Amino acid sequence: MAAVAVHQFAQCITCHAWSPDRSMVAFCPNNNEVHIYKLLEDKWEKVHVLQKHDQIVSGIDWSGRSNRIVTVSHDRNSYVWNQEGPEWVPTLVILRLNRAALCVQWSPKENKFAVGSGAKTVCICYYEQENNWWVSKLIRKKHDSSVTGVAWHPNNILLATTSTDGKCRVFSTFIKGVDTRESKSGSSSDSKFGEQIVQLDLSYSWAFGVKWSPSGNTLSYVGHNSMIYFVDDVGPSPLAQNVAFRNLPLRDVLFVSEKMVIGVGFDCNPMVFAADESGIWSFIRFLGEKKASSSSSKYGSQFSEAFGKLYGQSKHGLSNDTVEPSRAQGVVHENCINCIVPLTKEGFRTKRFSTSGLDGKIVIWDLENQDLSDNF
């Protein structure tokens, strides 16, 4: 099995993030606090509790270079935490939101971070040296519902978002004085702040976790209709594919290489998707062990297969007509997996990653020796 470590930290975990050296992990135990644990003599011990939010912390990201933690909460606020000696000191970020903040992510250069919210708004936050505080610029009137996911392109300018209006959008976040115009980034650096590059109407249900491939050439996101979407050549004429599966919907995705994606969600077991030599994506297998599937009626099996094929025949782009047989839930996670974070990287490949879920576990997974070499 690919799971190499299972840690029961709480009854429920909302989100988690790792320190740059991977010696500490920060997570929200489904309340208004952030707990930081450190590995001391092969045992995880609580070393810090970040207390500033008034409601559930819905997003955490720990920057790899500057060692700063950013948190967002349903209380509509965001804090940037800096370690000063033994303590973590918070700095309030004025988001100007009238609804909950739902997700957050540092940009690749860590000079900005993006916050998605229930106010149909995306906040792009950056540090203003003159006034010594964090300020935000808002992307408004582009989404028709809550923004559930944000993902930065490697060029530090483009930002992809998903929303419960079923759409995935890509925006320019170029800010004068913060970003520099580079000829190699193409037209993205020429776009004004908040300009919508593309809108993808592939899903007719809520859209969740979104990620870019390491090169930035492919975009992937998931829908609440048990489908995952892949988009190449993001721009005026994108090439889109979708893969339908018979299992429960996904909540988040992670590119572990240019041609392989791990999806996690309500099925409690990471799912592996990969592209073949012709660029066609398909479901490969589950990573965790499975319980023995109970016998089901022939009619139920035929109905499920037909239902899966029906949703696989999307009007947009390509579709995958093969539907995997029904499988039981995994045995590592016992409830929905809502967060997946990379751990060990070698170039464009992620060899280890971690997942957390509503069962209060953080699980570390290893992709080596998993018979995925043809795709990995």
Query: Where residue 148 sits, what CATH number does that domain have?
Result: 2.130.10.10
Q: Are 171 and 159 in contact (CB under 8 A)?
A: yes
* Domain-embedded: residue 274: yes
* Domain-embedded: residue 264: yes
Q: Looking at residue 374, what is its pLDDT?
A: 57
Q: Count how many domains the chain has.
A: 1
* Domain-embedded: residue 300: no
Q: Are 261 and 287 in contact (CB under 8 A)?
A: no
Task: Give me 242's structure tokens.
Answer: 């979708």
* Domain-embedded: residue 93: yes
Q: Are 12 and 362 in contact (CB under 8 A)?
A: no
Q: Return the sign of the alpha-carbon dihedral for residues 49, 55, 61, 67.
A: negative
pTM to 2 decimal places: 0.86
DSSP 307: H
* Domain-embedded: residue 310: no
* Domain-embedded: residue 295: no
* Domain-embedded: residue 166: yes
Burial environment of residue 41 by CB neighbours within 10 A (0 to 12, 13 to 18, 19 or more): exposed
Angle (CA) 151-155-156 rounded to 5° is: 60
* Domain-embedded: residue 372: no
**Greatest CA separation found in the chain?**
69
Q: Are 138 and 147 in contact (CB under 8 A)?
A: no
How far is CA 222 from each of CA 62, 74, 192, 210, 242, rounded to the nearest angstrom?
24, 23, 28, 7, 9
Q: Are 85 and 99 in contact (CB under 8 A)?
A: no
Q: Looking at residue 185, what is its pLDDT?
A: 47
Question: Residues 92-130: pLDDT tens digits?
Answer: 998 999 999 999 999 999 999 999 999 999 999 999 888
Burial environment of residue 145 by CB neighbours within 10 A (0 to 12, 13 to 18, 19 or more): middle
Burial environment of residue 305 by CB neighbours within 10 A (0 to 12, 13 to 18, 19 or more): middle
Residues of the chain with pLDDT under 70: 1, 183-190, 289-330, 371-376
Q: Looking at residue 309, what is its pLDDT?
A: 41
Residue 234 belongs to what domain range? 3-178+191-289+328-366
